[in-house]
Amino acid sequence: MRSDRDRLVETVTEEVVRALEARHGSSTDQAGGTGCPNCTGTRATDPAEKVREIVDTGADRIAHNGHGHDVPDDLASYIDHTLLRADVTADDVDQLCDEALRFSFKAVCVNPTWVRRCAQLLRGTDVEVASVVGFPLGATTRQTKALEARRALRDGATEIDMVVNVGALKSGHHDDVRADIEGVADACHETRGRLKVIIETAYLTDEEKVVASHLAKQARADFVKTSTGFGPGGATAYDVLLIRETVGEHMELKASGGIRTEEDIRTMLAAGATRIGASAGVQIMTGGDGDGGY
């Protein structure tokens, strides 16, 4: 028998999707968001132009794997400069921090093993240190995620990007997902850290994206984030709009993963880059051709 909550979720999802279709047509791919027969607009061939155009989609932050000189000075402070490959070396991390300082990026985002090094290199600067928890699968226990978050925060991280338990979400175990997020949120907020919840949109139906976004908000996360960049697909403008419609204007939103080509940018723009109101303090990333994926 369907619960009142199930009916509410279905109603909210239908309303959000209907609103998006009214804005952009019904041609968006539910899981990957790549179809766009109504695509119009100008291709963005210059990296700086791409960054500016993605800002207008309404995303709050976007990660950057490319070169610092590709990013306009006035947008650099919105970018998480990211390096999450398995083969990252100490020299790579040092270079990442150097670029973050030279171009005034908002943060560097690294695997937990590099947090202490980044915190030492960036001490006394305005560049924050972000790290990942339960990454990239989200399938560790909630106790492990909370412990991992506390260690990263103790080592000097100020922001945590955690991956939601996708399997639990798709199984309908919503209380477990909420508790998973709450455990990491508590760890972050004990030290005034900020939590981004990665819902990995490419694995989810529209209804599941709505549910995941609501759960993140209920669990007191600071951001909803689209993707790890290591899943089957990355951010789409459709998903950015769907999440924004779901959580409202005041919760922050980070787009990441898969933003690599001109066609990706054109599709995101055509999906509604000029039709959504950006929240105050919009943060955005540019995803180049780097291998970090995030």
Query: By the 8 A CB rule, do 283 and 62 touch?
Result: yes
The one catalytic residue in 50, 225, 239, 264 is 225
Q: Which of 272, 291, 288, 294 is nearest to 59 (CA)?
A: 272
Query: Does residue 156 lie in a domain region?
Result: yes
Domain that holds residue 162: 4-26+48-270
pTM over 0.75: no
CA distance 71 to 93: 19
Is 254 catalytic? The answer is: yes
- Residue 252 in any domain: the answer is yes
- pLDDT in single tens digits along all 294 residues of the chain: 455 555 555 655 666 566 556 554 544 444 444 333 333 333 344 445 555 555 555 555 555 555 544 544 444 666 778 889 899 999 999 999 998 898 888 889 999 999 999 999 999 999 999 999 999 999 999 999 999 999 999 999 999 999 999 999 999 999 999 999 999 999 999 999 999 999 999 999 999 999 999 999 999 999 989 888 889 987 777 888 888 888 887 888 887 776 554 454 344 434 322 222 112 222 333 333 444 345
Helix axes 174-190, 206-218, angle to 10 degrees: 40
| Residue-wise pLDDT tens digits, 122-131 | 999 999 999 9
Q: What is the pLDDT of residue 240?
A: 82
- Closest Cα partner for 210 from 252, 233, 241, 250? 241
Any domain includes 43 = no
276 found inside a domain? no
Q: How many domains does the chain have?
A: 1
Q: Rounded to whole angstroms, how far apart are CA atoms 239 and 216?
A: 15
Catalytic residue among 106, 209, 217, 254: 254
User: 41-66 pLDDT, tens per residue?
Assistant: 333 444 455 555 555 555 555 555 55
From 228, 105, 106, select the one nearest 162 (Cα to Cα).
Answer: 228
* Token output for 214: 């609501």
Catalytic-residue membership of 161: yes
Q: Which segments of 104-231 does DSSP mark as H helices, in order?
A: 115-122, 142-155, 166-170, 174-190, 206-218
Residue 147 lies in a domain: yes
CA-based end-to-end distance of the chain: 40
Asked if residue 36 is part of any domain, the answer here is: no
Query: Is 62 within a domain?
Result: yes
What torsion, rounded to 10 degrees, do the Cα atoms 46, 49, 51, 52 define? 180
Judge whether 275 lies within some domain.
Answer: no
CATH number, residue 185 = 3.20.20.70
Contact in structure between 117 and 138 (CB atoms under 8 Å): no
- Spot the catalytic one: 161, 180, 239, 264: 161
